[in-house]
Amino acid sequence: MKLRYSPASPYVRKCLVLAHEAGLAGRIETVPTVTADPASGLAKDNPLGKIPAFTAKDGQVLFDSPVICEYLDSLHRRPKLFPTRGKARWTALRRQALADGILDASLLRRYESLRPANERSATWDDKQKGIVARALDALEKEVQDLGKPTAKRITIGQVAIGCALGYLDFRFAADNWRNGRPKLARWYEEFAKRPSMAATMPKDMT
């Protein structure tokens, strides 16, 4: 199995954290991929030109992190990170969607910061910051229901939230997302100690 990979991508990290939690990390080959490089061959795997893109053992190619994560969760016999039914499932999926929304807005900010200074929009940046702030405030209100960050059994919702908060530390540390959100900060401090999170710390490609 192969995973199109960048160590800076929070979506890739989400897949890798799940793989570690599921005991599958050793079975996955990570393929360093620069999305802007036409020679990478990424478009053959994912016509959207995005990572992660995952090639299964049978040659089937999957893309978008929620799809890849759920596929990986089907391959192991440990406790599932995607609850199969009922309120627990919809809560986990909603939390994944909320965390992915934080990442979507944060990546738009990141891309905006890479544009020439005279082409950047402060209004656009402020809009994305507002989206992130609202999502973080919502998590602060429900953090008591997230479960123990050191628990043996976790869900894709917790994984996605952990990766989103880690990305904010990685790219936007100066914004200090912890300010005014002490409960979420304490939860993340413990969640970040999980071996799966420690093994997948983001870094820029060199």
Q: Do residues 175 and 129 lie in contact, with contact meaning Cβ atoms separated by under 8 Å? A: yes
pTM, full prediction: 0.95
CA torsion, ordered 24, 63, 41, 167, to nearest 10 deg: -70
pLDDT at position 204 is 84
What is the biggest distance separating any 2 CA atoms in the chain, rounded to whole angstroms? 53
* CA angle 62–67–69, rounded 5-degree value: 105
Span 66-93, pLDDT tens digits: 999 999 999 999 999 999 999 999 999 9
β-strands 53-55, 61-63: how paired?
antiparallel
Give the tens place of pLDDT for each residue, 88-139.
999 999 999 999 999 999 999 999 999 999 999 999 999 999 999 999 999 9
What's the burial of 91, exposed, middle or buried (CB within 10 Å: 0-12/13-18/19+)? middle
